[in-house]
C-alpha cells in the first residue's frame, strides 16, 4: 500500500491504535464522526472535515458516523438534512458498516435521538450538585458573566437546593414556563464564575424553546445546548477521536469535565472520546460562512445554493468539480493547527490535474466569427478526425466535417497584427496574409475580410492548400506557427455556455469587517451562445470535456436537455488570476 501522507492526527491515531487506547468490541479502534448542523448547505470547508474524518476511518479500518447536530429547532430543516447526506455520498463516503452479526449498521445519527438520555443525564447532574436552574433574566446573566478581564458573579440562584432545581427542571420540561424564564447551567466548581476560560463559567446546558422540531415534533419544549449535546453524543456513539476546528479548543475543558463527571454515573463505555482540533479551511475569493452564503441565495445574487459560482458542495458539483479533485485538494492542503489561507488557485489546480488525463477533448467556438474558404467548393464537406484524448488512443477518435464556411474565434483574427501574433491577419502592402492551420484540417492563407456598416469585422476570407490536410504526407511541407480551432457552420451545434469565474474580486472578501457584497465579481457569470462540434449533441448531464484552448467544461446537470446540452466552464486551462 502507498505510504499515507502524514499529519499530526494520523500520528495520534496510529499511536492510539498501537497502544490500544480505545478498545471497542475487543479491537483497538478509531471511530470518528462528521457532525453538521442541518441549517444550511455544506461548503468546501466542510469537505475538508468530511475528507479528514471519513478518510481516517477508511485508512485505519475504523468507522465514521454522520451525525446531525439538530438541537436548534428554529433553524433546522429536512431540506438541509437531505442535501448534506447527498453531498457526503457524492464525495464518495458512506456510513454503512458491516456488523458482527453479518448485517449492516447504518451510522447515520441524530443528536435528537439522544434527547431522552441527554435529559436523564441532566437530572443526574442536578442531583449530584453539578447543575442548577438559574432564574436570572438574560440581561443579568450576561452582566454577571463578566469578561476576559473581569471575573463573573455567582447567580443568586446558584445555591438553590438540588431538589428545587430538579422540580423546576421538570416543570420546564412539562411546559410550565415561557422561553427564557429559566435555564439549566452547569456548576463545574465553587469558583467557576471566575474561571479564566469563559466557557467554564456555569455554561448553559438546557434552555426553554417552545418550537417545533423537524424530528421530535412538539415532544420537547426544552432543548440541550451544543456544548452539552456534542460531547455526550460523541460518548454515546463510542467515538474515539472527536475532531473539530480550532475555535473549539476553549470548549475542550468543558468537554472533558462533562464526560468525566457523567462517567461517574456509568453512562458511557470507557475510555471516553477525546477532542482534537485542527485549523479550519480559509479559501481565498469565496466566503465560507453559511450565514453569508444564505444571504447570497436569499438576495438572489446567485441562482440558488447550487449556483456554479458557489463554494457549496452542490455548487462545486454543478460547476463540474469531481469528488476526486476535492479529495486531491484536501490531501494537498493537509491538516495542521496553523491558521492560514489557501489560495483558490490550489483548488483550481486540483480539478485541472484530475481532468487533464481523463477529459475527452472537444471543439467549441465561444465568440464566433465567420471564416470563408473561398477556394473550397461550395456544398462540399469532408471528414476530419482527431483523437478523443491526445495521450489515450484507447479513448478513440472523433470526427467532424469541414466545409466552405466555418466558425472561428473572434480573437483569432486581427486587422493589424500585434507583434508576435501568428493567427489570421490580412495581406498588408506587399506582405501576404497570415498562414494558419485549421487544427486537424488544412493550412490556409488569409486573403481579406469583410466589415459591416459599423466597422465590425463580420467575415474573414482565406484560401486553403488542398495538399496540406493534417495526417496526410503533404502536410509536413507546411510550417506554420498559427494553429486554431474551428467548427463548420452547417453542422455546428449551437449551445448555451456559461463562462464562470471567481465569485469575488477580493481575495478575502469577508475579512476584517469588509462589505463582502460590494466585492462581488460582476463578471463571474457570462452566458454566450457558442458553436460546438456536432458530436457534442450527445453530451450527457455531468459529462466533462476539455474544450481545446479554452478549459474544462461540464454539461450542466440541471439545464441540459437530451440532444441540447448546456455547458458550464469549470476552469480555464491556465491560471489567469495570479499576478
Region binding ligand ATP by CB under 6 A among candidate stretches 23-31, 32-40, 71-79, 342-350: 32-40
Nearer to ligand ATP, 37 or 123 (CB): 37
Which CB sits closer to ligand ATP, 76 or 412? 76
311 contacts ligand ATP (rule: CB under 6 A): no
Q: Is residue 370 part of the contact set for ligand ATP (CB under 6 A)?
A: no
User: Is the Cβ of residue 37 or residue 181 nearer to ligand ATP in the bound state?
Assistant: 37
| Choice among 215, 280, 294, 564 that is catalytic | 280
> If binding is defined by CB under 6 A, does position 343 make contact with ligand ATP?
no
Active site residue 153: no
CB of 226 to ligand ATP, least distance (A): 8
Task: Return d(Cα 2, Cα 46) in angstroms, integer.
Answer: 26
Least distance CB 278 / ligand ATP (angstroms): 7
**Beta-carbon count within 10 A of 249 CB:** 15
- Told to check if 288 binds ligand ATP by CB under 6 A, we report yes
Give the SS3 label for residue 87.
Answer: helix
On whether the CB atoms of residues 291 and 516 are closer than 8 A, the answer is no
Q: Does 61 bind ligand ATP (CB under 6 A)?
A: no
Measured distance CA(332)–CA(412) in Å, rounded: 37
Burial 142-170 (b: 16+ CB within 10 A, else e): eebbbeeeeebebbebbeeebeebbebbe
At 44, give phi and psi (nearest 5°): -60, -30
Tell me how many residues contact ligand ATP (CB under 6 A). Answer: 14
318 binds ligand ATP (CB under 6 A): no
Which residue is nearest to ligand ATP, using beta carbons?
45
Q: What cell numbers appear for 241 in the block?
A: 477521536
**Contacting ligand ATP (CB under 6 A), which of 6, 61, 289, 380?**
289
Residue 269 cell numbers, joined: 463505555
d(CA 436, CA 478): 10
340 vs 48, 222, 283, 291, CA distance in Å? 14, 39, 9, 21
From the list 14, 37, 123, 353, the catalytic residue is 37
Give the one residue of 48, 63, 440, 525 binding ligand ATP; rule: CB under 6 A: 48
State the Cα–Cα distance between residues 145 and 346, nearest whole angstrom.
43
Catalytic status, residue 437: no
Whether residue 415 contacts residue 426, with contact meaning beta carbons closer than 8 Å, is answered with yes
Residue 112 lies near ligand ATP (rule: CB under 6 A): no
Does the protein bind ligand ATP through residue 290 (CB under 6 A)? yes
State yes or no: residue 336 binds ligand ATP (CB under 6 A).
no
CB of residue 52 to ligand ATP, shortest distance in Å: 8
Q: Does 45 bind ligand ATP (CB under 6 A)?
A: yes
Backbone dihedral angles phi then psi of residue 231, each to the nearest 5 degrees: -60, -40
* Interface with ligand ATP, residue 35, by CB under 6 A: yes
Q: Which of 37, 59, 227, 303 binds ligand ATP (CB under 6 A)?
A: 37
Q: Is 273 in the site for ligand ATP (CB under 6 A)?
A: no
Element (H, E) at 556: none
Residues 230-249 within binding reach of ligand ATP (CB under 6 A): 244-245
Give the range of 41-49, 112-120, 156-164, 504-512 binding ligand ATP by CB under 6 A: 41-49
Tell me: does residue 544 bind ligand ATP (CB under 6 A): no
d(C-alpha 24, C-alpha 29), whole Å: 6
- Region binding ligand ATP by CB under 6 A among candidate stretches 268-276, 281-289, 315-323, 530-538: 281-289
The distance of closest approach from Cβ of residue 314 to ligand ATP in the complex, given in angstroms and rounded to an integer, is 15
Alpha carbon distances (Å) from 116 to 81, 130, 229, 284: 22, 19, 12, 43
Q: Residue 42 or residue 355: which is nearer to ligand ATP going by CB?
A: 42
Q: What are phi and psi of 355, to 5 degrees?
A: -85, -30
Binding mask 489-528 for ligand ATP (x = CB under 6 A): ----------------------------------------
User: Does residue number 55 form part of the binding site for ligand ATP (CB under 6 A)?
Assistant: no
Candidates 290, 352, 404, 437; catalytic one = 290
569 alpha carbon, distance to own chain's centre: 17
Q: Rounded to an integer, what distance in angstroms lies between the CA atom of residue 566 and that of residue 547?
A: 14
- Rounded to whole angstroms, the Cα distance separating 42 from 288 reads 9
Q: How far is CA 119 from CA 179, 198, 238, in A?
A: 18, 24, 19
User: What does DSSP say about strands 108-110 and 63-68: parallel, antiparallel, or unpaired?
Assistant: parallel
Instruction: Tell me if residue 487 falls in helix, strand or coil.
Output: strand
57 part of the interface to ligand ATP, by CB under 6 A: no
Residue with cell 416543570: 171
Burial class (CB in 10 A: 0-12, 13-18, 19+), 6: exposed
Task: Give yes or no for residue 36 binding ligand ATP (CB under 6 A).
Answer: yes
195 binds ligand ATP per the rule CB under 6 A: no
Cβ proximity to ligand ATP, 244 vs 364, nearer residue: 244
Q: In this structure, what DSSP letter does residue 120 have?
A: H
The reply on whether position 281 binds ligand ATP by CB under 6 A is yes
Which among 285-293, 312-320, 342-350, 478-486 is the span making contact with ligand ATP, rule CB under 6 A? 285-293
Dihedral sign from CA coordinates of 114, 115, 118, 120: negative
Q: Specify the stretch interacting with ligand ATP by CB under 6 A; choose among 142-150, 287-295, 476-484, 527-535.
A: 287-295
DSSP annotation string for 326-370: HHHHHHHH---S----B-HHHHHHHHHHHHTTTPPEE-EESSEEE
Q: At its nearest, how many Å lie between ligand ATP and the CB of residue 65?
A: 12
Of 9, 17, 22, 49, the one binding ligand ATP (CB under 6 A) is 49
- Radius of gyration of the CA atoms of the chain, in A: 31
Q: Decide if residue 359 touches ligand ATP (CB under 6 A).
A: no
- Cβ atoms 75, 39 nearer than 8 A: yes
Q: Is 383 considered catalytic here? A: no
Stretch that binds ligand ATP, among 105-113, 124-132, 288-296, 489-497 (CB under 6 A): 288-296
Q: What's the closest the beta carbon of residue 562 comes to ligand ATP, in angstroms?
A: 37
Catalytic residues: 37, 280, 290
Q: Which residues bind ligand ATP (CB under 6 A)?
A: 35-37, 45-46, 48-49, 244-245, 280-281, 288-290
Amino acid at each position: 500500500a502507498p505510504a499515507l501522507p502524514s499529519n499530526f492526527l494520523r500520528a495520534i491515531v496510529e499511536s492510539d491504535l498501537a497502544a490500544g487506547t480505545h478498545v471497542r468490541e475487543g479491537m483497538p479502534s478509531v471511530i470518528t464522526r462528521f457532525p453538521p448542523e442541518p441549517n444550511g448547505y455544506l461548503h468546501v470547508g466542510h469537505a475538508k472535515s468530511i475528507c479528514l474524518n471519513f478518510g481516517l476511518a477508511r485508512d485505519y479500518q475504523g468507522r465514521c458516523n454522520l451525525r446531525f447536530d439538530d438541537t436548534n429547532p428554529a433553524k433546522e430543516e429536512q431540506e438541509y438534512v437531505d442535501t448534506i447526506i447527498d453531498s457526503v455520498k457524492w464525495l464518495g463516503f458512506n456510513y454503512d458498516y458491516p456488523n458482527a452479526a453479518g448485517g449492516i449498521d447504518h451510522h447515520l445519527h441524530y443528536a435528537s435521538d439522544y434527547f431522552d438520555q441527554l435529559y436523564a443525564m441532566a437530572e443526574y447532574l442536578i442531583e449530584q450538585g453539578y447543575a442548577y436552574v438559574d432564574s436570572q433574566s438574560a440581561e443579568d446573566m450576561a452582566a454577571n458573566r463578566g469578561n476576559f478581564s473581569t471575573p463573573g458573579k455567582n447567580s443568586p440562584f446558584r445555591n438553590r437546593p438540588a431538589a428545587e432545581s430538579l422540580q423546576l427542571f421538570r416543570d420546564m420540561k412539562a411546559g410550565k414556563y415561557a422561553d427564557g424564564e429559566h435555564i439549566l447551567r452547569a456548576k463545574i466548581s465553587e469558583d467557576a464564575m471566575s474561571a479564566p476560560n469563559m466557557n467554564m463559567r456555569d455554561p448553559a446546558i438546557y434552555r426553554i424553546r417552545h418550537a417545533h422540531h423537524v424530528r421530535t415534533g412538539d415532544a420537547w419544549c426544552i432543548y440541550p445546548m451544543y456544548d452539552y449535546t456534542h460531547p455526550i453524543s460523541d460518548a454515546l456513539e463510542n467515538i474515539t477521536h472527536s475532531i473539530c476546528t480550532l475555535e473549539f479548543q476553549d470548549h475542550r475543558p468543558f468537554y472533558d469535565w462533562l464526560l468525566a463527571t457523567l462517567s461517574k454515573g456509568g453512562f458511557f463505555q470507557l475510555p471516553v472520546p477525546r477532542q482534537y482540533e485542527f485549523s479550519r479551511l480559509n479559501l481565498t475569493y469565496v466566503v465560507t460562512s453559511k450565514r453569508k452564503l444564505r444571504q447570497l441565495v436569499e438576495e438572489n445574487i446567485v441562482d440558488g445554493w447550487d449556483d456554479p459560482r458557489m463554494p457549496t458542495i452542490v455548487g462545486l458539483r454543478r460547476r463540474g468539480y469531481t469528488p476526486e479533485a476535492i479529495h486531491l485538494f484536501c490531501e494537498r492542503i493537509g491538516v495542521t493547527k496553523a491558521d492560514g489561507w489557501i489560495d483558490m488557485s490550489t483548488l483550481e489546480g486540483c480539478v485541472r490535474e484530475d481532468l487533464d488525463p481523463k477529459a475527452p477533448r472537444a471543439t467549441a467556438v465561444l465568440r464566433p466569427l465567420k471564416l470563408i474558404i473561398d477556394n473550397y467548393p461550395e456544398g462540399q464537406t469532408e471528414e476530419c478526425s482527431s483523437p478523443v484524448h491526445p495521450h489515450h488512443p484507447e479513448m478513440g477518435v472523433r470526427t467532424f466535417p469541414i466545409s466552405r464556411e466555418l466558425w472561428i474565434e473572434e480573437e483569432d483574427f486581427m486587422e493589424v497584427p500585434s507583434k508576435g501574433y501568428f493567427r489570421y491577419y490580412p495581406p498588408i502592402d506587399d506582405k501576404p496574409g497570415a498562414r494558419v492551420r485549421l487544427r486537424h484540417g488544412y493550412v490556409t492563407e488569409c486573403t481579406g475580410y469583410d466589415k459591416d456598416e459599423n466597422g465590425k469585422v463580420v467575415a474573414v476570407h482565406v484560401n486553403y492548400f488542398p495538399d496540406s490536410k493534417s495526417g496526410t504526407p503533404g502536410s509536413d511541407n507546411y510550417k506554420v506557427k498559427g494553429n486554431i480551432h474551428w467548427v463548420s457552420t452547417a453542422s455546428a451545434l449551437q449551445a448555451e455556455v456559461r463562462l464562470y469565474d471567481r465569485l469575488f474580486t477580493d481575495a478575502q472578501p469577508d475579512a476584517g469587517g469588509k462589505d463582502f457584497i460590494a466585492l462581488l465579481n460582476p463578471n463571474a457569470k457570462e452566458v454566450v451562445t457558442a458553436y460546438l462540434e456536432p458530436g457534442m449533441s450527445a453530451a450527457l448531464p455531468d459529462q466533462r470535456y476539455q474544450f481545446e484552448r479554452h478549459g474544462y467544461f461540464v454539461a450542466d446537470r440541471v439545464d441540459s436537455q437530451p440532444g441540447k446540452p448546456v455547458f458550464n466552464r469549470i476552469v480555464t486551462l491556465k491560471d489567469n488570476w495570479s499576478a
